[in-house]
Amino acid sequence: MLIQWYPGHMHKASKEIKQALPNIDLLIEILDARIPFSSQNPMLNQLRDDKPTIRVLSKTDLADPQLTQLWQSHLEQDQGVKTLAVTTQQPDKIKQIIDLCSKMLPERTEANKVIRTMIMGIPNVGKSTIINVLAGRTIAKTGNEPAVTKMQQRINLKNNIVLSDTPGVLWPNVENRNSGYRLAVTGAIKDTAFQHDDIALFALEYLLKTYPEALQARYQLDSIPTEATSLLQAIGQKRGCLRAGNQVDMDKAAKLFLTELRAGTIAQISLETPEMIAAEMIELSVIREEKAAKKAAKRRR
């Protein structure tokens, strides 16, 4: 799926972030613990260089705990990266970010110099809630809809730390098709940008392979269908998502399923693993090479 939702304020924010980065000492990127790779901004990876970075895995109460630990170990293999797994209901743990900033830049802490940090994250990842906890007061507007924060602001925290907030930023082209689907499944993209049944079927196909027992228990199914479309129909039947003639309303069933998946009422579910992403990146490299070869062939004509 190609992402078609890229509001104008996101383009403006991306430019401002690029301009501000040279004056930043440390980066804080908020990731969705259910999709740690797909919720990373590739622009940040390109521009970060060796700048110290804290990757905060948010919404861990919705994610598979074992996979969250696996992702933390994987992410910390990158030089200068530390991770912290939190939920928005854990203020004490969120406040550990402040101490971690000081520990990662001991030379500035010992010299009593200001540590200039920037916090980033895709829409609807809990960034505003985390900022309010760090600041100890309500500064950032929170909400369940993507793209609540629309302008940058600077916030003075304790321990001589200044935090630059940024709007939730996506990027205009999500090359990995599966990442586009995962962003939609978790609610990082407004629902008006895609068809609900398309997104739901993608998620169900994955969950059939990884969490079939959880699906069967949640929807009280005597047996679990082996195919995603049949499963969505079964969910619709069970929950009364019906049209005239006792036909399943697939869009209504998909909305219900996605709402429950996002709320964590099915189970604690993660939608990707480091191993999966490694395979997808190999596939993406092949696609890139094929596109480059086609362009080169056109130029030679």
What is residue 141's predicted lDDT score, i.e. its pLDDT?
Answer: 58
Length of the chain: 301
Structural domain containing residue 212: 195-270
Distance CA 123, CA 147 (A): 5
- Structurally, the chain folds into a number of domains equal to 2
Give the tens place of pLDDT for each residue, 32-49: 999 999 999 877 777 777
Provide DSSP, 203-239.
HHHHHHHH-HHHHHHHTT-SS--SSHHHHHHHHHHHH
Q: Is residue 2 part of a domain?
A: no
Q: What is the CA radius of gyration of the chain?
A: 21
Which residues in the chain show pLDDT less than 50?
A: 3-5, 9, 144-151
Clarify whether residues 123 and 246 are in a common domain. no
CATH at 211: 1.10.1580.10
**E strands, the chain, in order:** 26-32, 53-58, 81-85, 115-121, 153-157, 161-165, 242-243, 247-248
Residue 298 forms part of a structural domain: no
Specify whether 78 is located in the same domain as 140: yes
Q: Residue 76 falls within a domain, yes or no?
A: yes
Does 245 lie in the same domain as 157?
Answer: no
pLDDT recorded at residue 271: 98
Predicted pLDDT at 149: 45
Taking the model in full, what pTM does it have?
0.87
User: Would you state the pLDDT for residue 154?
Assistant: 81
Which amino acid belongs to residue 256? L
pLDDT at residue number 171: 57
